[in-house]
Amino acid sequence: MPTSATPTPSTVAPSTVALVLVSHSRPLAEAVAKLARQMAGDKLTIACAAGIGPDGSELGTDGTAIAAAIEQADNPAGTVVLMDLGSALISADVALDLIDPDVKARVTLSAAPFVEGAVVAAARAAAGGNRAEVAAEATAALMPKSVQLGEESAAVPAAAPEAGAADAVAEATIRDPAGLHARPAAQIVALASTFDASVTLADITRKTGPASAGSMVALAGLGVRTNDRLAIAARGREARQAVAAIAELIGGFVGTGDAPPPPQRALQAGRAIPVVPGVVMGPLVRLQRATPQVPTWPSDDPPGEITRLKRAVTVAERSIGASAVGNTSGDIFVVQLALLRDPAIIDRAKSLISTERHNAAFAWQQAIDEAAQHYRALDDPYLKAREADVRDVGLVVLRALLNTRPAVLPSGPPAILLVDELAPSEAALLDPARVLGVIDARGGPTSHAAIMLRAVGIPAVAGAAAMVPAKGAQAAGLDGSTGEVWFDPDAEQCERIAQRHAVWKSGQSRAPIGGRLKTPDGHEVELWANVSGLADARAARLGGAVGIGLLRTEMLFLERAEAPSEAEQVTLLREIFEVFTDHPIVVRALDAGGDKPIPYLAMEPEPNPFLGLRGIRLLLARTELFETQLRAILVAGKDHDVRIMLPMIATNDELVRARACLDRAHRALKQAGSPHLWPVPFGIMIEVPAAALVAEQLATQCDFFSIGTNDLTQYVLAAERGHPGLGGYADTAHPAVLRLIAEVVEAGRVAGRSVSVCGESAADPALAGLLVGLGVTRLSMGAASLAGVWKALEKLPFNALESAARQALTAESAAAARAALTRLT
């Protein structure tokens, strides 16, 4: 056995990770050990296995010597092995096969750079770091050097800006059938940015990455598909929290409804791609876009150009943020905001300004082109479609830089819009009352613009380029379910389209007239709408909802650097209230928490956010934020039928304290002489089982109840909805949940408080009947569900629903409870 192993004969702290240095050169290893020891003192075991030949004087590595060094260094805290290059790696690998398996289990071979890695590993080990931490620190050791030499900004989109793993690591599996598509990626980017840590993701299954979790573009480059395992690594003060939070976020991705790309149907000749069903006909107008002319002149003031660029990005953020507030498809804008802040784009543009002396617009355009190319090159069709989002974001910034106005719709009567690749930022501006339908020459069914058109119900087709006549047509018709398009239809075609339109409309207008339906035996049920933004509100109004049963206000607060001012909130709320003028509107106070973190609230990441500081608990911990929102609601609610609702109430005391906040908000407005709504009905969400059980007490302190069946079901059954391993376990039809609902209804009836349901169960035609049978008279749901629920309920007599509900209450399972209703139909 060669003599080249030289463990240091010093006392070893019992739980200190040891280092083994493997090098071709004995002097090199010994010198590195000396450097490392400067960081760590004598307490650390550092063993060298280096050189070959009888006295280790020749260059080479010896697997048996490495094995001996590892065994000598071995201790309960384990060993991290650093190697120089080439055969050192293979010999160390051999050594692992030569040592005791128990010892082997405590050894990590580190891919760290030899010198840098040894020095930081020693420091970390001496500081009591565990084996994973020491190894992670070592692997990341190249980063300070890269930063020092300015290589950081040279990162290409697909690469991680920072090297390697770090202080904390975790794994998570992607369950979303669409893989890691743009919106979840944007959520990861947003969440990662809230921690004082640099986070990377790597796809273990696909062996791609690591990529910076700060960059959407980089994350897209991982090519993550469903069921891939991801490694999350973070470095920095809050590395641990960041990794835990992101792992949890990823674990919660279970598909987002619209995300899985619908299989592209084979196109029939002469047809476009069906995007949003509906048959419409009308005058044809073109979306007029002012294409910004990007100047090519070089700049002699790079810092000035960078400032201009930053300012334009801020303006773009604001305009995209504003669209987000008025829209259901808000998270599409989250994607756009994330792209806007993506270091792979913005840093690239800045570096083009400083190194190539490009002007801001030219540099930005080039950075956008590169990122767009990057997306286009991906083989996932859904991610590929994000090229349009990149270009759209690019355009918004360019417009801000060059002072060009966004696309405008020509004024006139309602019309069909012809457009070449509708951008999401443009789709957000379309008013269903003015746009009958959309014919997109390009685009596709999975574009974000398509999702937004679907949300507001504007019939649309895409990929119609081949059908668009060269000469300008005056009128057009389209069938969004077949992809048929007619330009300047003749009389016969017009008649056919009109017929189909009538059929479509009649199918549609089974939608509730006035939102109040009567069962055949005369029992009245009101259909209200859940709304998150302006476009939603319009769709709900068109759908005939009685009122807004749940106005979520989270969109006002998300994706911003700081809390919205009172004035800003007033403006945004007023726009929505005006859509429902003279109709009741229930505004829910901010429902945020660890599961929906808001960066500027500096919320501590929680191991169990659903059981933590969220909803009313957070509002009462941040009364300034809460009272600002209450004042905004009261001011905007002046002259409207607005009611305020509190999320997550569990105790009477919370209600009392919240009312004190409301009173303070009122007094402040009164003192300032601001006209506002007063008094205001004050109600609560019943979503915590405790609240349901003491509903009769809570009823004395508030004006109405709205049952949030989503959370109530989760909390009652201790199961997450949509948990991949639990199937349909968390089913609102479970008799335990139904019994609680029945108790709340009874408590409301006795105290004379209205009880509505605003969870997804209200939108489920199969469950809505049970809820009505239990005595719920108000169901609040997304606008898209109104017609379906109406249809399901209008034929069922109330007394039959009541008896079905009675059976359901004593059923043995959720399935049996549902069956009680199915028997009626």
Task: Using the minimum distance from each CB to other proteins, give the nearer residue, 58 or 301.
Answer: 58
Tokens of 577: 């209230």
Report the phi/psi class of residue 421: left, alpha or beta, with left for phi > 0 and alpha for psi in -120 to 50: left
Residue selected from 6, 8, 72, 87 as contacting other proteins according to rule CB under 8 A: 87
Rounded least distance, CB 56 to other proteins, Å: 10
Task: Using the minimum distance from each CB to other proteins, give the nearer residue, 84 or 526.
Answer: 84
Number of residues in contact with other proteins under rule CB under 8 A = 21
Residues 321, 533: Cα–Cα separation, whole Å: 12
Rounded least distance, CB 65 to other proteins, Å: 7
Rounded least distance, CB 14 to other proteins, Å: 31
Q: Note whether 1 binds other proteins by CB under 8 A.
A: yes
Q: Are 733 and 764 in contact (CB under 8 A)?
A: no
Residues 611, 594: Cα–Cα separation, whole Å: 9
Rounded least distance, CB 91 to other proteins, Å: 5
Residues 6+ apart with CB under 8 A from 314: none
Backbone angles phi, psi at 348, to 5 degrees: -65, -45
* Binding segment toward other proteins, per CB under 8 A, in 82-90, 337-345, 389-397, 780-788: 82-90
Q: Note whether 58 binds other proteins by CB under 8 A.
A: yes
Task: Using the minimum distance from each CB to other proteins, give the nearer residue, 49 or 230.
Answer: 49
Residue 437, helix vs strand vs coil? strand
Footprint of other proteins on 2-31 (CB under 8 A): 2, 24
Task: Using the minimum distance from each CB to other proteins, give the nearer residue, 3 or 825.
Answer: 3
Q: Given 48, 661, 702, 758, which residue is catalytic?
A: 758
Burial class (CB in 10 A: 0-12, 13-18, 19+), 513: exposed
Beta bridge partners of 487: 476
Q: Note whether 90 binds other proteins by CB under 8 A.
A: yes
Residues 774, 796: Cα–Cα separation, whole Å: 14
Q: Note whether 86 binds other proteins by CB under 8 A.
A: yes
Q: Note whether 62 binds other proteins by CB under 8 A.
A: yes
Task: Using the minimum distance from each CB to other proteins, give the nearer residue, 60 or 251.
Answer: 60
Residue selected from 47, 65, 122, 809 as contacting other proteins according to rule CB under 8 A: 65
Q: Note whether 64 binds other proteins by CB under 8 A.
A: yes
Q: Are 52 and 2 in contact (CB under 8 A)?
A: yes
Residues 6+ apart with CB under 8 A from 537: 529, 531, 548, 576, 579, 580
Task: Using the minimum distance from each CB to other proteins, give the nearer residue, 57 or 509.
Answer: 57
448 carries an active-site annotation = yes
Amino acid (1-letter code) at residue 333? F
Task: Using the minimum distance from each CB to other proteins, give the nearer residue, 31 or 59.
Answer: 59
Residues 308, 301: Cα–Cα separation, whole Å: 11
Residue selected from 6, 23, 91, 200 as contacting other proteins according to rule CB under 8 A: 91
Footprint of other proteins on 432-471 (CB under 8 A): none
* Binding segment toward other proteins, per CB under 8 A, in 84-92, 115-123, 225-233, 484-492: 84-92
Sign of CA dihedral 217, 223, 225, 230: negative
Task: Using the minimum distance from each CB to other proteins, give the nearer residue, 88 or 644.
Answer: 88
Show contacts of 809-814: CB within 8 Å, 24+ apart: 809/735, 809/738, 809/739, 809/742, 809/774, 810/735, 811/735, 812/735, 813/734, 813/735, 814/728, 814/731, 814/732, 814/733, 814/734, 814/735
Axis crossing angle, helix 343-356 with helix 360-376, rounded to the nearest 10:
140
Q: Note whether 93 binds other proteins by CB under 8 A.
A: yes
* Binding segment toward other proteins, per CB under 8 A, in 63-71, 161-169, 543-551, 613-621: 63-71
Where are the alpha helices (H) located in 509-547, listed in sequence order? 534-542
Residues 6+ apart with CB under 8 A from 87: 24, 60, 61
Task: Using the minimum distance from each CB to other proteins, give the nearer residue, 67 or 230.
Answer: 67
Rounded least distance, CB 115 to other proteins, Å: 19
* C-alpha distances in Å from residue 518, one per residue of 251, 746, 777, 794: 43, 22, 11, 7
Rounded least distance, CB 157 to other proteins, Å: 24
Rounded least distance, CB 109 to other proteins, Å: 13
Task: Using the minimum distance from each CB to other proteins, give the nearer residue, 24 or 753.
Answer: 24
Rounded least distance, CB 2 to other proteins, Å: 6
* C-alpha distances in Å from residue 231, one per residue of 173, 225, 243: 9, 14, 10
The order of strands in the sheet holding 475-479 is: 273-276, 460-462, 435-440, 415-419, 279-286, 475-479, 484-487
Rounded least distance, CB 111 to other proteins, Å: 14
* Binding segment toward other proteins, per CB under 8 A, in 34-42, 88-96, 286-294, 670-678: 88-96
**Half-sphere CA count of 509, side-chain side, radius 13 A:** 6
Residues 412, 160: Cα–Cα separation, whole Å: 50
Q: Note whether 59 binds other proteins by CB under 8 A.
A: yes
Rounded least distance, CB 96 to other proteins, Å: 11
* Binding segment toward other proteins, per CB under 8 A, in 57-65, 296-304, 402-410, 451-459: 57-65
Residue selected from 7, 63, 564, 689 as contacting other proteins according to rule CB under 8 A: 63
Rounded least distance, CB 88 to other proteins, Å: 9
Residues 219, 182: Cα–Cα separation, whole Å: 9
Interface pattern 27-56 for other proteins (x via CB under 8 A): -------------------------xx---
Q: Note whether 167 binds other proteins by CB under 8 A.
A: no
Q: Are 628 and 647 in contact (CB under 8 A)?
A: no
Q: Given 448, 640, 666, 676, which residue is catalytic?
A: 448
Q: Note whether 60 binds other proteins by CB under 8 A.
A: yes
Q: Note whether 292 binds other proteins by CB under 8 A.
A: no
For 614-646, letters b (16+ CB in 10 Å) and e give bbbbbbbebbebbbbbbbbbbbbbbebbbbbbb
Axis crossing angle, helix 302-325 with helix 343-356, rounded to the nearest 10:
160
* Binding segment toward other proteins, per CB under 8 A, in 89-97, 151-159, 535-543, 794-802: 89-97
Residue selected from 12, 39, 94, 315 as contacting other proteins according to rule CB under 8 A: 94
Footprint of other proteins on 266-285 (CB under 8 A): none
Catalytic center residues: 448, 758
Which residues of the chain form contacts with other proteins (CB under 8 A)?
1-2, 24, 52-53, 58-65, 86-87, 90-91, 93-94, 97-98
